[in-house]
Amino acid sequence: MSLYSVVRSDETRIASDLSNLETSGVVVGALDGEVGTLTAQARFPKAKYVFLPQMSDMGAVLQDVVSKKADITFVSPQVFVNYDTNNPGKLKVLSREYPLATFPGGFMVKAGDRELADFISHSQAFLNSVGVLDRILDKYDPGRQLILRPAKLYRIENER
Q: What does the H/E/C string look like for 69-93? A: CCCEEEECHHHHHHHHHHCCCCEEE
- Degrees (nearest 5) of the Cα angle 90, 148, 47? 55
- Given a contact cutoff of 8 angstroms between Cβ atoms, the answer to whether 28 and 71 are in contact is yes
Residue 150 confidence (pLDDT) above 90: no
Dump pLDDT digits (tens) for 74-102: 999 889 989 999 999 999 999 888 889 88
Give the sign of the dihedral formed by CA 27, CA 30, CA 32, CA 33.
negative
Dump pLDDT digits (tens) for 4-62: 999 999 999 999 999 999 988 899 999 999 988 999 999 999 999 999 999 999 999 99
Q: Higher pLDDT residue, 60 or 157?
A: 60
pLDDT of residue 160: 59
pLDDT of residue 143: 87
- The full set of domains in the chain, from first to last, is 2-102 (3.40.190.10), 104-160 (no CATH)
Dump pLDDT digits (tens) for 97-134: 888 988 877 789 999 999 999 999 999 889 998 999 99
